[in-house]
Amino acid sequence: MRTDAVKNRQRILDAAEEIFATEGVAVPIDAVAERAGLGVGTLYRHFPNKEALFEAIVMDRLVRLLDTAKDFEVAEEPGEALFSFLYEFAEQASSKRDLFEALGSAGIDLKARCAELFAELMKSVETLLARAMAVDAIRRDMLANEIVGLIVGTCHAAGDSGLSEAGRQRMVAVVLDGLRPVVRRS
Amino acid sequence: MRTDAVKNRQRILDAAEEIFATEGVAVPIDAVAERAGLGVGTLYRHFPNKEALFEAIVMDRLVRLLDTAKDFEVAEEPGEALFSFLYEFAEQASSKRDLFEALGSAGIDLKARCAELFAELMKSVETLLARAMAVDAIRRDMLANEIVGLIVGTCHAAGDSGLSEAGRQRMVAVVLDGLRPVVRRS
């Protein structure tokens, strides 16, 4: 892609992510183009339909999440690295849930389509978990897929209960605290 | 109801709960009658269809759960009372999920139908929570509906991830540990 095209693509993605988050996924595609300061034609050249846009946003975030995880793999404090990653993961799982569901309703199984990316992310979580366990920064009885499932489930539960963003954050805080090493009670 | 009828009804419910839990909700109604040691005619007199049976099982459990909660309201250790109740609640939320979903698929919204019972249960959870907070046995930043939503969500996440019963119990343990008062780290 030419540099201009790359820049425009990112401008569209950033504008779309922002507008979907604030106004919901039903917002018309023209509004996305307007927010990005580009013509609708330019937008359609990059993304032929809304689903392509949803998919690109989620993929973009997943790639960035994987980058974050890779950075944390070599962080000095393995405990803080794992918990910071899980916090960021919860943020994304929650804020991108609408996009995921819109894709699901359109018959697009993103998890199957990006199986490799998801697998790489899980591998990275396993590394972060092993490092944190080695310094006793996390309880020892949970597997990586259980931790990921627990966090995704918590964010879904918060959404289903119609909780505020503060309520969701409290729910996630409970789970993250519960993942800390079990302290013997006196 | 005559005493015999009451006894038969309970025998059917016990047999149905057991067989649905071990063999799934698709098991034919004849198998329930056989397990209860009663004729199919007797079963149909009590429960005209499978949905009526599902509903009666869940209602029966909800009533028992409410009884348990009421007992815990006057327990001597408010902290242990709350956590024991939440543990039992998670067991039921998990083991009765299939029945709930089967009812939902049949267009029966049990939560709407038993709104009063659910409301009474929530009131009792609020009492248990207030008592536990008064003795600093639980973190102070969570509301009763958030705690209930978190536990239901955790059990659903465990089911969705296809976790074993042991995996589900570990997930619930993480959440219950996370609900304990926040301990300052040295």
Interface of A to B at Cβ within 8 Å reads: 139, 141-143, 145-146, 149-150, 152-154, 156-158, 160-161, 163, 167, 170-171, 173-179, 182-183
B121 and B162 assigned to the same domain: yes
Mean predicted confidence (pLDDT) in B56-74: 94
Short-list B18, B17, B42, B16, CA closest to B29: B16
The complex's ipTM works out to: 0.80
Q: Is the residue at A18 inside a domain?
A: yes
Which residue in chain A is spatially nearest to B139 when comparing CA positions? A174
Verdict on whether the full-model pTM lies above 0.90: no
Short-list A72, A152, A73, CA closest to B154: A152
Q: Is the pLDDT of residue B17 over 50?
A: yes
Domain of residue A13, CATH code:
1.10.10.60
Low-confidence stretches of chain A (pLDDT beneath 50): 185-186
Contact flag B150-A142 (C-beta cutoff 8 Å)? no
Token couple for B61: 């459990």
Q: Is the residue at A184 inside a domain?
A: no
Q: Is the residue at B36 inside a domain?
A: yes
Q: Is the residue at A164 inside a domain?
A: yes
B60 and B84 assigned to the same domain: yes
pLDDT tens digits along B35-60: 999 999 999 999 999 999 999 999 99
Q: Is the residue at A138 inside a domain?
A: yes
Token couple for B75: 């327990």
Domain that holds residue A42: 1-48
B186 vs B168: which has the higher pLDDT? B168
Mean predicted confidence (pLDDT) in B68-94: 95
| Alpha-carbon distance values, B26 to B11, B93, B162 (Å) | 20, 19, 19
Q: Is the residue at A185 inside a domain?
A: no
Query: Which band of pLDDT confidence, cut at 50, 70 and 90, is reported for residue B183?
Result: low
Short-list A176, A182, A178, CA closest to A83: A176
Q: Which of A146, A157, A179 sits opposite B150 (nearest CB)?
A: A157
Q: Is the residue at B124 inside a domain?
A: yes
Q: Which of B143, B157, B177 sits opposite A178 (nearest CB)?
A: B177
Q: Is the residue at B69 inside a domain?
A: yes
Query: Could you tell me how far CA A185 lies from the centroid of its own chain?
Result: 35
pLDDT tens digits along B94-152: 888 888 888 888 888 888 888 899 999 999 999 999 999 999 999 999 999 999 999 99
Which residue in chain B is spatially nearest to A139 when comparing CA positions? B174
| Residues in chain A within 8 Å Cβ distance of B174 | 139, 142, 150, 175, 178-179
Number of structural domains, chain B? 2
Contacts 24+ apart (CB under 8 A), A102-107: A102/A25, A102/A50, A102/A51, A102/A54, A103/A51, A103/A54, A103/A55, A103/A58, A106/A51
Domain of residue B104, CATH code:
1.10.357.10
B44 and B54 assigned to the same domain: no
| Residues in chain B within 8 Å Cβ distance of A167 | 143, 146
